[in-house]
A and B are shown apart, each in its own frame.
Chain A
Amino acid sequence: MELYLYLALFSPLAGSLFAGLFGASPRTKIAGLVPSLLLFVSFVSSTILLVYILSGGAKVHVEMMTWMATGDLYIPFGFVVDQVSVTMMMVVSLVSTVVHFYSIGYMDHDKGFNRFFSYLSAFVFSMMILVMSDNFAGLFIGWEGVGLCSWLLIGFWYHKESATWAANEAFIMNRIADLGMLIGIFLIYWNTGSLQYDQAFAAMNGLDKEVLTWMGIFLFIGAMGKSAQFPLHTWLADAMEGPTPVSALIHAATMVTAGVYLVVRANPLYDLIPHVGLFIASLGAFVALFAASMALVNRDMKRIIAYSTLSQLGYMFVAAGLGAYWVALFHLMAHAFFKALLFLGAGNVMHAMHDELDPFKMGGLRKVMKGTFVMMTLASVALAGIYPFAGFFSKDLILEVGFVEHHYIIYTVLLFTAGLTAFYSFRLVALIFHGEERYKLFGIHPHEAYKFMLVAMSPLLLLAIIAGSFKMTYFEMVTAVLPATEYHVHSAITYWIMTIGTQLFVILAIAFAYKKYANNKVKVPDGTSKMENRLCYKVLSNQYYIPYIYEEYLAKPYKELSTLFWKQIDMKVVDATVDGIAGIIYSSGEKTRVMQSGNLSTMLKWMVAGTIGLLSLAVVFGLAARYSGEIKTILSGLGV
């Protein structure tokens, strides 16, 4: 099994290096094909491992080599394949294989084709390290590695100012969170003496509640950055500047779920501190609603999906925070499938529309892009949580968790958000695929994507539909390591009322979206309609003015303060002090130079004066030595 572990882990790296070799050379298909095939190898290995674990195999744990060892600290490159990580491996390798094959078509005409695959495979490798590591430091490697690849990929079209800006924003925001993570790791090390998961968690039982709370908080700050939770969420929407496959892979399916993975992985810790868990859940519920509300009015196709991702991440954190780790992981998995599908579909649309992102400028695309239409619709259905699609099983479960755990406010918020989710998803679908063909106004001739791209997407489609049916198998498998709590509403009637009620609510929202946006009256908004001038619309479309606040009250003052530090403090205070000291010495020399008039007579006078000075010193010291006893008594009398 170790062989498969290494294969799963290192074939993306090999792919990345291979594509990297062609980095400076012109576009060649092979630079895309080989990494994709290697990823397929990784996927197959992951599947073999999954089967092995499913069939009751013990977890695979290898220690490749020592990384850092000093003092009591011992960090190896250790990898573990257990029920949790194998789930993540499956998600990562599957989605990334799909995305890789898809990208061969998507990036077809791009100058940086080879570079793209190098980065993308490097990302997968980092993600694999992240999920497979058996210690927090290894997790951190992956954590930062995916951050780096995210930076590279968001800023992939580096000639675009907005892309590079978004890349830097993403990296820096993630770094803020990484600091929290790092502090969390330090806390764990100094309190448990180890960074290995098993040893650290074993030692946590005996620790002080307060320390554990801090650990939980700091680790969660790390998770907040990667999973773009409020208030570190702004980067995710801006990250849509990257190529769409990147958004599908990184900003929907894998990297952003790393935070959820961390919380799930650290479940023994969060079990000990339920109050932090409650905070996580509350924040998750808030983000779910908050992000969904922003998605309602947005006019950028990819940003809408990004906010949707954010919202779904909120769901996952609710589940994880409330202790339903397996539910969180399950939703993570299901979400990865349909959200990646949604993004890839959006990629097709973008290609067709020549990088136009405003869904109001599309409309009626279903005639030209049948395959994409079907896929995106089904993905949206799954996202909305309609039976029997994947979203129904995972999302409904989270609602149930909220209900069963008696957090009714969270439950209500999530229920409401589910409606919003359905609405904005289908608003998007309706605007893109139904109604009048508004794109003609802009002189665009859309075309369907390559066949093989659609084929590449099909596994995701399949999984988006059927993933829900794995629920029980999955539950049995993963609860070997996670707390096995079944969430069932006690009475069957309540259960049915809830389920059907939710379904009806969601379907209503969908219908409303269709009614509003699928007709031929939809116009390209020009900022004059009544709705657009409403305050709440403005607030929502400006993302609650949060990016504006960050820019005005954080970024700009930071820049100004930096300039102030440099120009005023460093140059005019610190350096001027040093130069001032030098100046004093210099000017005193300049002044006393007059003494050296060159006139012997004057100099002789100075000589005598100097002699007198020395003689006086001799007298003073002589007297002091002679009368030292008396001086001491006088001084002691003065209290010195």
Chain B
Amino acid sequence: MEIGLNHYLVLSTLLFAIGLIGVMRRKNLLLLFFATEILLNSVNIAFAAISHYYGDLTGQLFVFFVIAIAASEVAVGLGLLIVWHKRHGNIDLDNMSTMRG
């Protein structure tokens, strides 16, 4: 029972789907951020796996950059979150609809 690329890809997809569920059902902004992390990580697995099975380092490098981006996203996002929370007293998505078209 050799573990092939497809196993990893399926796993990645599965995690991605879980992330999507989170993204869609969470109304609390902080918990939404969790879900986006799951999305990023699921993709990371896929990258790493492809990189491994095709002997190409590019995938790993992308994982590296993705992690960097995720880190900065968290930093900035949390900062904004705090500001928002200070102003409105909550971080509920349903209250953030000032951009109604």
Question: Which residues in A have some Cβ–Cβ distance to B below 8 Å?
Answer: 593, 596-601, 604-605, 608
Complex Cα gap A601–B32 (Å)? 10
Partner of B100, one of A596, A601, A604, A608: A596
Contacts of A599 in B (CB 8 A): 93-94, 96-97
A294 to chain B, nearest CB (A): 77
B96 touches A605 (CB 8 A): no
- Having A596-B99, A599-B94, one finds 20 other A-B pairs with CB under 8 Å, namely A593-B101, A596-B100, A596-B101, A597-B97, A597-B100, A597-B101, A598-B96, A598-B97, A599-B96, A599-B97, A600-B32, A600-B93, A600-B96, A601-B27, A601-B93, A601-B94, A604-B24, A608-B20, A608-B23, A608-B24
A604 touches B23 (CB 8 A): yes
B93 touches A598 (CB 8 A): no
B81-97 vs A: 1/0 string, CB under 8 Å? 00000000000011011
A181 to chain B, nearest CB (A): 65
Partner of A598, one of B24, B26, B32, B101: B101
Give 13 CB contacts A-B under 8 Å.
Answer: A593-B101, A596-B101, A597-B97, A597-B101, A598-B97, A598-B98, A598-B101, A599-B93, A599-B97, A600-B96, A601-B93, A605-B24, A608-B20
Contacts of A593 in B (CB 8 A): 101
Contacts of B26 in A (CB 8 A): 601
A598 touches B100 (CB 8 A): yes
Complex Cα gap A243–B91 (Å)? 95
Identify the 7 closest CB pairs spanning chains A and B, nearest first.
Answer: A598-B100, A596-B101, A598-B97, A598-B99, A599-B97, A601-B93, A600-B93
Contacts of A601 in B (CB 8 A): 24, 26-27, 93-94
Which residue of A is nearest B29, CB measured? A600
Complex Cα gap A58–B27 (Å)? 108
A400 to chain B, nearest CB (A): 95
Question: Which residues in B have some Cβ–Cβ distance to A below 8 Å?
Answer: 20, 23-24, 26-27, 32, 93-94, 96-101
B60 to chain A, nearest CB (A): 25
Which residue of B is nearest A611, CB measured? B20
Complex Cα gap A596–B100 (Å)? 6
Which residue of A is nearest B21, CB measured? A608
B11 to chain A, nearest CB (A): 18
A148 to chain B, nearest CB (A): 63
B93 to chain A, nearest CB (A): 5
B92 to chain A, nearest CB (A): 10
B17 to chain A, nearest CB (A): 10
The CB with the most chain B CB atoms within 10 A, among A597, A598, A604, A605, is that of A604
Contacts of B32 in A (CB 8 A): 600
Complex Cα gap A608–B100 (Å)? 19
Contacts of A597 in B (CB 8 A): 97, 100-101
Which residue of A is nearest B25, CB measured? A601
B10 to chain A, nearest CB (A): 15
Contacts of A608 in B (CB 8 A): 20, 23-24
Contacts of A605 in B (CB 8 A): 24
A607 to chain B, nearest CB (A): 9
A417 to chain B, nearest CB (A): 86
Contacts of B96 in A (CB 8 A): 598-600
Complex Cα gap A605–B24 (Å)? 6
Contacts of B23 in A (CB 8 A): 604, 608
Complex Cα gap A604–B98 (Å)? 16
Which residue of B is nearest A596, CB measured? B101
Contacts of B24 in A (CB 8 A): 601, 604-605, 608
Complex Cα gap A104–B56 (Å)? 109
Complex Cα gap A597–B100 (Å)? 5
Contacts of B20 in A (CB 8 A): 608
Contacts of A596 in B (CB 8 A): 99-101
Which residue of B is nearest A612, CB measured? B20
Which residue of B is nearest A592, CB measured? B101
Which residue of A is nearest B100, CB measured? A598
Which residue of A is nearest B101, CB measured? A596
Complex Cα gap A605–B22 (Å)? 11
Complex Cα gap A604–B36 (Å)? 11
The CB with the most chain B CB atoms within 10 A, among A593, A597, A599, A601, is that of A601
B31 to chain A, nearest CB (A): 12
Which residue of A is nearest B27, CB measured? A601
Contacts of A604 in B (CB 8 A): 23-24
Complex Cα gap A605–B26 (Å)? 11
Which residue of B is nearest A599, CB measured? B97
B98 to chain A, nearest CB (A): 6
A415 to chain B, nearest CB (A): 92
Complex Cα gap A600–B20 (Å)? 14
A562 to chain B, nearest CB (A): 46
Contacts of B27 in A (CB 8 A): 601
Contacts of B100 in A (CB 8 A): 596-598
Complex Cα gap A600–B96 (Å)? 7
Which residue of A is nearest B94, CB measured? A599
A328 to chain B, nearest CB (A): 83
